């Protein structure tokens, strides 16, 4: 089993608090798939306004968590780490669906599968579950781009 702890996640993603949304990678297969977790806690800043009377994790952040998982898989697949001269961007989201709300105390199980790469664009199928129940799914497209100087 190929797991990655938070210290190695820092090596594969530029994201930091409050925007790092992957806590651990449970398993991955280079060039194929990755399974990660995100522990959802009440003290996350977005819960102050979404919604104070019934805190729910915003769907766009669930999509972002799935996109961050794709970034780790991409860097593992090409056997490199991000550098200061480029960024790995989310460039498209298709077929996004949200099946049930995510609340504090939930643990997201994020699964991403690499479908193909074409002209530098990586396409993935992504799902997120809580307690074995599907909460979100989407097809994501990402690519690495140089940062203009």
Q: For residue range 68-84, what is the model confidence (pLDDT) as tens digits?
A: 999 999 999 999 989 98
Annotated catalytic residue: which of 7, 15, 50, 53? 50
- CA trace torsion 56, 59, 64, 67 (10° rounding): 130
Q: What is the pLDDT of residue 52?
A: 87
CB atoms within 10 A of CB 32: 11
- CA trace torsion 30, 81, 87, 145 (10° rounding): -70
Domains of the chain (ranges plus CATH)? 6-146 (3.10.129.10)
Q: What is the pLDDT of residue 24?
A: 98
pTM: 0.96
Q: What is the pLDDT of residue 58?
A: 98
Among residues 130, 142, 135, 134, which one has the least CA distance to residue 38? Answer: 130
Beta-bridge partners for 113: 33, 125
Residue spans of the chain under pLDDT 50: none
Report strand pairing: 86-98 vs 133-146: antiparallel
Q: Is 12 tagged catalytic?
A: no
């Amino acid at each position: 089993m190929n797991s990655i702890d938070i210290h190695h996640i820092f090596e594969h993603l530029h994201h930091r608090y409050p925007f790092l949304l992957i806590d651990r990678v449970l398993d991955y297969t280079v060039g194929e798939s990755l399974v990660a977790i995100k522990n959802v806690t009440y003290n996350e800043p977005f819960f102050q306004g979404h919604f104070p009377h019934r805190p729910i994790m915003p769907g766009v952040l669930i999509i972002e968590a799935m996109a961050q998982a794709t970034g780790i898989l991409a860097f593992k697949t090409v056997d490199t780490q991000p550098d200061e001269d480029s960024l790995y961007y989310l460039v498209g989201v298709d077929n996004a669906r949200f099946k049930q709300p995510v609340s504090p105390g939930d643990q997201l199980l994020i699964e991403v599968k690499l479908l193909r790469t074409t002209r530098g664009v990586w396409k993935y199928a992504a799902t997120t579950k809580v307690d074995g129940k599907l909460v979100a799914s989407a097809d994501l497209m990402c690519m690495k781009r140089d940062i203009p100087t």
